[in-house]
């Protein structure tokens, strides 16, 4: 009997919270507002940060308020009740509408709106369980006539599972859009002055530089900063813009005593700025007046910031330039070697050269489309991936290393592709890169080279990822066009081709020479692979490489036999068997256990710490500048920058003098936090160099091609 009693108590204890939870989840409503706690992704992972949101559906004629409600009203407030270890952050406020009401202006929301909140899940959360999240939401719901405070208790039972979660089908995309648009410091510097009741804000840098920002509006975080109902006018210049505002009561009465913070909404997007008191910034005026914003117009920046046709055209041009410049980046050298060999061969057959060039172009464009499609698809499914994601996978790196080895062996003349009998007999170069070969070279160029971003590419890629997919694909196509353009242009210019020397023995020698960049590429990929997996994996990859090389040599020997009229069957079979062995070893290599990365790998003497937003804040709070290097082992540009510009004695001295902290964000393997941080700065790939200075709102973004001088100069106080 007693046991039964105990069992009953136990059952009640187990069932009671679940019953309570069920009563509170789902939409809750009053006459004016319906609210629900929803999640951006289908589940949360232990130790991760997930995003939930308070969804509001407001009846027509009613509204709720932004963090600064404007002339009247009050913001929505949330009081959380969370399981132990779960922490809810602040609301990521979506950009508000301006609501004019009898001479007053409020900042708020009508219709449907989400208030996203980041939630930290403790590492101890058990996969398979659910976490009950409860929140008491206080909405001040107002119409033109009256205000009603409404309190709703909302609940969400958040499933915990391992692995990256896909987006919630109903709400994920809408919440993600708010996160993308909201809070982008974006390296903007801002200053504020107050004179005779006029508050002048100047803001420069980042996305504000270079071009008309369109209608612009400043939403201050604090009420009393500006006259909310006052007109906002101003002008723009080469570096940014200047806004002239009527000071609000608090500002006019108390003066300008500290920084003015808020959201600057422009047609280029909305950006959080903190304007320090100080003289107006140069280059923030002079090119034209800011377009006036009338009441009927939607808040600028509220629509997707990157979908404007101007931004689209800009992204296309930058993509083409970026693709072109990519040809000069170290990542593409091995592929250029292949193309040079092909070009030398086909130079004196204009028709052949043309077909060759177009096949190469087709290869580049097709691969760009496939990669971009995969990238956009993964992102739509809620995966945090960025440009270059293909090289974050160890099996892909291993496969590419072996492929590079095979190409190099081919250039060394160990075996021939597609040549068959007649090939070996006549000049050995003539058939290496036929139509299929050229297409394949193009594909390879993209897979290996594209993860490196070049100057101008960063903007195009960042913008593309915020665009609707047809526009995004167009930007990717332009990148491909840029990458292929130099080679295509040469192959389509018979006059240029005829200037090349006639084929001869020199071509053989050139080809053998060009094999070495390919060997280099294979070694480099093997090194990347070793950093992704470990020494054991690398050993297996080397074994696979040796087996493959021997196999290909046997294949070549078989080809030679047949060229002499013999069968060469045994050699071919032996070759095929070895190729199989290579595949097996490569699979093993890819599955090799991942070792913890050794601290401070490859950064020379400069002492560094791993990047985290926390580390940046800690250093800044100690008053020290912070240099952040977002890098990846497979990013050749990053590695070259690190060798030439980040680890030199000069830079080391400058770092010591300014007491700077050096943080490294290693993106060699997938890291969602780094992906998110890159995105916050409008990037989708590495390298990215950020320099934070204490007391400044946002970091300065350093160029992608560094020199020692640039770094030393930037570190100067």
Partner 1 sequence: MPGQAAPAFTLIDSEGAPRSLADFRGKIVVLEWTNEGCPYVQKHYSGAMQALQREAAEDGIVWLSVISSAPGTQGHVEGESARSWKTRTKANATHLLLDPTGQVGRAYGAKTTPDMRIIDREGRLVFVGGIDDKPTNDVADLQGATNFVRAALDDVMSDRPVRTAFATPYGCSVKYADEA
Query: Which residue has tokens 């594909």?
Result: 443
Nearer to partner 1, 141 or 465 (CB): 141
3-state secondary structure of 631: strand
Dihedral angle computed from the Cα positions of residues 421, 425, 431 and 432, in that order, rounded to the nearest 10 degrees: 90
Cβ at position 250, least distance to partner 1 in Å:
5
- How far apart CA 561 and CA 572 sit, in angstroms, is 10
Cβ at position 709, least distance to partner 1 in Å:
48
Taking the CA atoms of 123, 127, 129 and 135 in sequence, report the sign of the dihedral they define: positive
Q: Give the single-character DSSP code of 227.
A: -
Q: Which of 72, 153, 587, 612 binds partner 1 (CB under 8 A)?
A: 72
**With binding defined as CB under 8 A, does residue 198 bind partner 1?**
no
Q: ω before 687 within 30° of 0 (cis)? A: yes
Cβ at position 58, least distance to partner 1 in Å:
17
Total binding residues toward partner 1, as defined by CB under 8 A = 28
Could you write out the DSSP letters of every residue in 10-65?
A: HHHHHHHHHHHHHHHBS-EE-SSEEEEEEESBS-B-TT-EEEEEEEEEEPTT-BEE
Nearer to partner 1, 227 or 677 (CB): 227
- How far apart CA 123 and CA 44 sit, in angstroms, is 11
Residue 243: is it exposed, middle or buried by C-beta count within 10 angstroms (0-12/13-18/19+)?
buried
**With binding defined as CB under 8 A, does residue 76 bind partner 1?**
no
The strand pairing partners of 630, in sequence order, are 665, 688
Residue 233: is it exposed, middle or buried by C-beta count within 10 angstroms (0-12/13-18/19+)?
middle
Binding mask 210-239 for partner 1 (x = CB under 8 A): ------------xxx---------------
Region from 99-107, 167-175, 404-412, 419-427 binding partner 1, contact rule CB under 8 A: 99-107
Nearer to partner 1, 249 or 703 (CB): 249
Which residues in 302-331 contact partner 1 (CB under 8 A)? none
Q: Which of 101, 358, 500, 673 binds partner 1 (CB under 8 A)?
A: 101
Cβ at position 55, least distance to partner 1 in Å:
23
**With binding defined as CB under 8 A, does residue 610 bind partner 1?**
no
Nearer to partner 1, 102 or 124 (CB): 102
Nearer to partner 1, 228 or 268 (CB): 228
**With binding defined as CB under 8 A, does residue 195 bind partner 1?**
no
Nearer to partner 1, 148 or 513 (CB): 148
Q: Which of 36, 51, 67, 73 binds partner 1 (CB under 8 A)?
A: 73
- Phi and psi at 306, nearest 5°, equal -100, 10
Nearer to partner 1, 33 or 311 (CB): 33
Q: Which of 84, 102, 257, 598 binds partner 1 (CB under 8 A)?
A: 102
Binding mask 123-162 for partner 1 (x = CB under 8 A): ---------------x-x-x--xxxxx-------------
Query: Which residue has tokens 């208030």?
Result: 115
3-state secondary structure of 374: helix
Nearer to partner 1, 75 or 462 (CB): 75
- How far apart CA 275 and CA 696 sit, in angstroms, is 9
Edge to edge, what strands does the sheet with 77-81 contain? 77-81, 130-142, 147-159
Q: Which of 71, 272, 633, 671 binds partner 1 (CB under 8 A)?
A: 71
Neighbour-count burial for 664-690, b at 16+ CB within 10 Å, e otherwise: bbbbbbebeebbebbbebbbbbbbbbb
Cβ at position 596, least distance to partner 1 in Å:
50
Give me the helices (H) in 533-621, please. 535-563, 569-591, 613-621
Nearer to partner 1, 147 or 500 (CB): 147
End-to-end CA distance of the chain: 78
Binding mask 235-274 for partner 1 (x = CB under 8 A): -------------xxx-xxx--------------------
Cβ at position 88, least distance to partner 1 in Å:
20
Nearer to partner 1, 74 or 277 (CB): 74
Q: Which of 154, 183, 149 is closest to 76 using CA atoms? A: 149
Nearer to partner 1, 247 or 414 (CB): 247
Region from 96-104, 371-379, 484-492, 559-567 binding partner 1, contact rule CB under 8 A: 96-104
CA distances from 6 to 15, 17, 181 (A): 14, 18, 54
- How far apart CA 276 and CA 253 sit, in angstroms, is 19
- How far apart CA 701 and CA 689 sit, in angstroms, is 6
Nearer to partner 1, 109 or 387 (CB): 109
**With binding defined as CB under 8 A, does residue 97 bind partner 1?**
no
> Would you tell me which residues interact with partner 1 (CB under 8 A)?
69, 71-74, 77, 101-104, 106, 138, 140, 142, 145-149, 222-224, 248-250, 252-254
């Amino acid at each position: 009997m007693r046991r039964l009693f105990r069992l009953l108590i136990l059952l009640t204890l187990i069932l009671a919270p679940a019953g309570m939870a069920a009563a509170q989840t789902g939409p809750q409503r009053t006459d004016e507002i319906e609210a629900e706690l929803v999640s951006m992704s289908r589940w949360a992972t232990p130790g991760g940060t997930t995003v939930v949101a308070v969804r509001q559906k407001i009846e027509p004629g009613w509204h709720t308020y932004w963090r600064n409600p404007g002339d009247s009203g009050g913001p929505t407030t949330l009081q959380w009740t969370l399981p132990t270890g779960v922490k809810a952050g602040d609301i990521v406020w979506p950009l508000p509408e301006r609501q004019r009401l009898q001479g007053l202006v409020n900042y708020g929301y009508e219709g449907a709106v989400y208030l996203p909140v980041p939630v930290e899940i403790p590492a101890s959360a058990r996969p398979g369980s659910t976490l009950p999240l409860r929140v008491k939401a206080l909405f001040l719901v107002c119409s033109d006539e009256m205000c009603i405070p409404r309190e709703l208790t909302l609940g969400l039972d958040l499933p915990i599972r391992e692995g990256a979660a896909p987006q919630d089908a109903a709400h994920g995309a809408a919440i993600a859009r708010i996160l993308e648009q909201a809070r982008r410091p974006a390296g903007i510097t801002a200053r504020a002055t107050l004179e005779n009741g006029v508050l002048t804000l100047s803001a420069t840098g980042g996305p504000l530089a270079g071009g008309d920002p369109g209608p612009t509006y400043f939403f201050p975080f604090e009420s009393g900063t500006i006259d909310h109902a006052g007109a906002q006018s101003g002008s723009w210049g080469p570096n940014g813009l200047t806004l002239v505002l009527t000071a609000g009561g608090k500002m006019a009465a108390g003066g300008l005593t500290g920084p003015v913070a808020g959201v600057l909404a422009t047609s280029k997007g909305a950006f959080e700025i903190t304007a320090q008191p100080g003289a107006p910034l140069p280059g923030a005026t002079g090119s034209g007046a800011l377009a006036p914003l009338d009441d009927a117009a939607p808040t600028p920046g509220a629509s997707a910031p990157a979908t404007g046709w101007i931004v689209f055209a800009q992204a296309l041009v930058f993509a083409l330039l970026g693709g072109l410049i990519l040809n000069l980046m170290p990542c593409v050298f091995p592929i250029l070697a292949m193309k040079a060999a092909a070009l030398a061969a086909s130079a004196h057959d204009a028709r052949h050269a043309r077909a060759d060039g177009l096949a190469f172009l087709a290869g580049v464009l097709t691969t760009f489309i496939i990669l971009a499609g995969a990238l956009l698809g993964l992102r739509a499914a809620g995966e945090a991936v960025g440009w270059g994601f293909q090289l974050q996978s160890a099996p892909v790196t291993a496969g590419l290393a072996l492929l590079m080895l095979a190409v190099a062996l081919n250039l060394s003349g160990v075996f021939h592709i597609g040549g068959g009998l007649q090939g070996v007999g006549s000049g050995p170069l003539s058939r290496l890169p036929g139509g299929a070969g050229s297409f394949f070279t193009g594909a390879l160029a993209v897979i290996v080279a594209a993860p490196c971003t070049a100057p101008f590419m960063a903007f195009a890629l960042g913008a593309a990822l915020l665009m609707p997919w047809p526009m995004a694909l167009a930007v990717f196509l332009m990148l491909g066009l840029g990458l292929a353009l130099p080679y295509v242009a040469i192959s389509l210019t018979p006059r240029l081709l005829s200037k090349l020397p006639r084929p001869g023995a020199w071509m053989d020698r050139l080809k053998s020479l060009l094999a070495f960049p390919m060997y280099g590429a294979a070694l480099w990929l093997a090194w990347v692979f070793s950093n992704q997996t470990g020494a054991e994996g690398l050993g297996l990859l080397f074994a696979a490489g040796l087996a493959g090389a021997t196999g290909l040599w046997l294949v070549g020997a078989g080809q030679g036999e047949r060229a002499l009229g013999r069968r060469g069957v045994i050699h071919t079979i032996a070759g095929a068997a070895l190729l199989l062995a290579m595949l097996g070893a490569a699979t093993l290599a890819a599955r090799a256990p991942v070792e913890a990365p050794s601290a401070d790998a490859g950064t020379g003497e400069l002492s560094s710490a791993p990047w985290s937003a926390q580390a940046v804040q800690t250093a800044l709070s100690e008053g020290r500048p912070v240099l952040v290097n977002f890098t990846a082992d497979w990013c050749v540009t990053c590695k070259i920058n690190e060798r030439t510009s980040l680890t030199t004695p000069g830079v080391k001295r400058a770092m010591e003098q300014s007491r700077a902290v050096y943080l490294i964000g290693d993106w060699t393997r997938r890291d969602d936090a780094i992906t998110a941080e890159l995105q916050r700065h409008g990037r989708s790939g590495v390298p990215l160099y950020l320099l934070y200075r204490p007391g400044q709102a946002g970091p300065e973004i350093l160029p992608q091609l560094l020199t020692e001088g640039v770094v030393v100069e930037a570190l100067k106080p």
